[in-house]
Each structure stands twice: as C-alpha cells, then as structure tokens.
Structure 1
Amino acid sequence: MINELFDLKGKVALVTGGTHGIGMACGMLLGKAGAKVVINDIFEDKLEACKEEYAKEGVDVYTLTFNVAKEDEVDAGISQIEKEVGPVDILVNNAGIIKRVPILDMPTEEFREVVDIDLVAPFIVAKRVAPSMIERRQGKIINMCSMMSVYGRQNVSAYAAAKGGLKLLTQNMCCEWAKYGLQVNGIGPGYIATAQTAPIRVNGHPFNNLVMTRTPANRWGEPEDVGKAALFLASKAADFVNGQVLYVDGGIIANFGYVEGENTNVE
C-alpha cells in the first residue's frame, strides 16, 4: 500500500531545466519512482552531459531543447514529447534565473528577462500541458517557488517579484483546475548546497554565517531534500494537496532569528 502511493510507473514527468542541481534531483527521484523522465534545457551540451549523470543512477531520460519562455518553442517541444514519449502527467516548472542587482542599477530589460523566465514561462508550459491533463482528469503541476515568494531581500527584486507572482499563479491554477482532477502546488527551497553556492558555503563567510544562524536545522539543504518534496507532490500521497507551497527550508521562514546570549526563558 505504501509503495503504491509513491509508484510513478507509466507516468511521464517533464522537468524543465533539469540538467543540474535541484532540477536534476527532482528528475532523479521521479525516475527512480518509475516515471519516464523528460528533461529540457536551452543548451544541447548540458542535456548531453546530464544523460550520463542520470544513467549513473539508473535513470534513462529523454531530452530536448526549447526555450520555456517562448510559446511557439514550448508548443513544438510538448508536441514532440506527446508524440515520442506520451502525454505529460507530471510537470515540474523548475527552469529559472536570478540576477542580483540593486533596483536602481537594474536595466528594465533584465528585470523583464527574469520575470519572463521565472513567472511567465511556468504559465506558458502549464497552459500547454493542462488541457491534456484536464481531458484525462489527472495531472500534477509543481511550480518551483522560493522563500522569496513570501519575503524580500536586497538585490533580488526581479526574482522575488517573479517568485511572489508564481505563488499566486499556483493558487489560481489550483482554483481553476482542481475540479478536473489536477493538483497544482509549489515548492519553496531554502538555501541549498549546489555547485553555485559552494564558494559561499565556507566557515566564516558572512552569507554562510547568516544561513547557519537563521536555519533552525543548522545546515544547508541538499538538492535531494527538494527532490523528495517533488516526489511527494507528484505522488498519490498528495492527491488532496492543492494550491500549497511546501517550503523545504530547514525552518527559516518559521524563524524570526536568534540573538546571541538571549535568555530563552523570556517570551
């Protein structure tokens, strides 16, 4: 019974931007649960390299290139997947970018680029796969949100604006599509140990100190932590979970912060 809850055999799972990091961790676990995994990216070399990484874990993937922010490319890509693999049962809208620039220094075109990829693209891809899901009265859509979906931080205005919008888009998709048997949810990763964060994950680095102080779990998250959440939301175990954002953050959002030497007996 328990194994059946997380059995994804026969399901087709599309993970956008699943060539590395969090996206790869999601794809790996969905594949190990039996799903046919499809990975997209805009760079062919990344897709070729990721095949080897998936193969090491015994996961065979189907890959193709298309830009998730361009509706014509998405339509062509999804049509190819439907023809060669099957209709998408699970969509993980993972592809995204971030630009760390102060608001006053950020060119408008760069702000739009971030919003296009982090917010408009999930709308485009979900809108393309949803009709087939609705027709079949089943489907799982998982939008990769963020802690920035609920609060801001300096120098990430475009990213936070997009991720805040993605949280509400997730809820609106739920409101419109839940009655057809779809579950639409989000994941909000905390600070995750990836190749990109390696330079700041060293003792004494100010950002590492911030993360370790703010995170009640007292560690950085691993990509697999996020992948496990994706597996849950993609599974039958989450059939009545809808319109939610599951924060995989080690407790950061729950924590106002610590004061060194604070008297814990004082409320």
Structure 2
Amino acid sequence: MSPLATPFPAIFSLAGETALITGGGTGIGRAIAECMHAAGATIVLAGRRENILQEEVARLGERAQYVVHDITNLEGAHILREKTEALVGPVTSLVNNAGIHIKKPAVETTTAEFQRVLDTHVLGSHALTVEFAPGMMERKHGSILFTASMASLFGIPKVIAYTAAKSAYVGMVKGLATEFSPHGLRVNAIAPGWIDTDMSRQAFAGDPERLNKILNRTPTGELGTPQDVGWAAVYLASPAAHFVTGTILPVDGGVSIGF
C-alpha cells in the first residue's frame, strides 16, 4: 500500500488545519504540501511561478489553493496574508521553505550574492513569521516550520552564503520558540540530508564523485525521498508533536551523527 493511502490515526491528522507553504510547487516544498494534504490539511502554495503552482493545485485537488508571491518582497508580506486568508481563512501552519542556492568558493561569492541568499531565506521567512504569528498566538494554536539543512549543522564547502542563511534558521527557531511557545505557537525546523529531487539529480549527473562521497558517508547508504521530509513536517505540525518546540529535526539517513 502506498504511504499516501495509509489511514492516519487522529493524533497525526491535520484535518481542520490550514498550511501555507512557501516554495511549495517543487522539490521538498511540493512533498511537504502533498503529505500535509494527505493528512487532511487545507493547503495554500506560495511561489513566484504561477504555472507551476496551478499544476500542483490541480494535482492535489480539493483543499488546495495558491497565491503568487515573491518572499523577498518584504513589505508585501501582509498582502500574502490577506490573500491567503481571503481564500481559506486563518493559517494554522506556516512552512518557511522557499530558498535559493549559490554554489561557488567563499572568496568568489560577492556581497550582492550573499545578500540575495540572506534576503530570501532569513529576511523573507522573518517577514512572513512576524506577519502570521500574531494571529496564531491570539488563537493560541499554531505551528511554524523552517526547512533547514545539513549546512545548518556542519561545514560544507562552496556554499558559504547558503550555510550562513541555514545556520541562522537554528538561532531563529530557538529564539522564536522561546517567545512564541507560551502562547500556543510551536516553532521547529527540519534539516534534510541529501534528498533525491530533480535539482539533486541534475547536480549529481555531472559529478558522480560527489554522489559516491555522499552515499559513503550516509549510514543508510541511500538518498532520502522528498516524502521523508514531508511526513516529518506532518508530524511536527500535528497534535502528536504538541510538546515539541525549538527543535531541529534531521531527516538525513544518519549523516549528521558523524562517524
């Protein structure tokens, strides 16, 4: 039986929840949306490419909507909230997933490139968090998730801006959880390991040595699936995780434990 066809015990159900997922049209964000939808949530995808969002909403079907939005438009965060609430009502789960990636040596990374990565990951997610969090705290119910990375946990060469941004998520999660959790709003992150996505396949196609290195240092000896991350997001947003906040959950096949 497909995991998506497995009945959900009520404790893991997201029925009655509404999740906004940035970067939800592709890759890991797409899988998070798929799994949350399968768990019963109403889903809103946010991203810049309307054609991709339309395709995903059509694929998900009932309880799925989208809003075209660029999260680097920091002053426009309220517009995303207003459009989302007009479509589906109050958001109970915000998934800060959208991001960009620049791969080049640190000494070749320009200030403008570094700033663009920080604007997308750190400032973009902060703008949405402070826009949606007050309503969640007022209702004393909510979950905010960040998609962190192995770069949040240890050094990876040639991704210095990405590493800085994803490392910032660790501090943000802990600080926000400390402020928000007394008001019924939990804050957590998932740190995916190396996941089999279209993007990773393109990267590995021209660099088999890198793929072998990754597999050799992964205790399970395989790449993860996007759904591995998606089901972790379901757990963290569900009643089953009501006592879990301020944590970074690696979904990585054991890479981060070291050896």
TM range (shorter): over 0.9
Match of 2:253 among 250, 255, 264: 250
Aligned partner of residue 255 in structure 2, secondary structure: coil
Q: Which residue in the other structure is 1:261 paired with?
A: none
Deviation readout 1:108-148 (Å, 9 max, x if unpaired): 11100001111111111111100000100010000111111
Following TM superposition, by how much is the alpha carbon of 1:77 offset from its aligned partner in structure 2, in angstroms? 1.1
Q: Which residue in the other structure is 1:16 paired with?
A: 22
- 1:40-189 matches, within 5 Å, as 40-55=46-61, 60-189=63-192
The residue type equivalent to 1:216 in the other structure is P
Following TM superposition, by how much is the alpha carbon of 1:17 offset from its aligned partner in structure 2, in angstroms? 0.5
Cα distance in 1 between the residues matched to 2:115 and 2:205: 33
Following TM superposition, by how much is the alpha carbon of 1:157 offset from its aligned partner in structure 2, in angstroms? 0.3
Whether the aligned pair in 2 keeps the contact of 1:101 and 1:156 (CA below 8 Å) is yes
Cα distance in 2 between the residues matched to 1:232 and 1:95: 20
Deviation readout 1:234-258 (Å, 9 max, x if unpaired): 10010000100000000001123xx
Deviation readout 1:125-184 (Å, 9 max, x if unpaired): 111100000100010000111111121211100000000011110110001001001110
TM-score for the superposition, normalised by structure 1: 0.91
Match of 1:196 among 174, 178, 199: 199
% identity of equivalent residues: 35
Cα distance in 1 between the residues matched to 2:96 and 2:239: 19
Q: Which residue in the other structure is 2:238 paired with?
A: 235
Cα distance in 2 between the residues matched to 1:188 and 1:41: 21
Cα distance in 2 between the residues matched to 1:34 and 1:186: 21
More helix per residue: 2
TM-score for the superposition, normalised by structure 2: 0.93
More displaced, 68-77 or 237-246? Answer: 68-77
Whether the aligned pair in 1 keeps the contact of 2:192 and 2:250 (CA below 8 Å) is yes
Say if 2:29 is the partner of 1:26.
Answer: no
Following TM superposition, by how much is the alpha carbon of 1:61 offset from its aligned partner in structure 2, in angstroms? 1.4
The residue type equivalent to 2:223 in the other structure is W
**CA distance 1:130–1:24, shift in 2 (3 Å):** same
Q: Which residue in the other structure is 1:264 paired with?
A: none
Cα distance in 2 between the residues matched to 1:237 and 1:184: 14
Which protein shows a greater Rg?
1
Whether the aligned pair in 2 keeps the contact of 1:12 and 1:35 (CA below 8 Å) is yes
| Runs of 5+ unmatched residues, structure 1 | 257-267
Number of aligned pairs?
252
| Cα RMSD, aligned residues only | 1.5
Cα distance in 2 between the residues matched to 1:12 and 1:52: 18
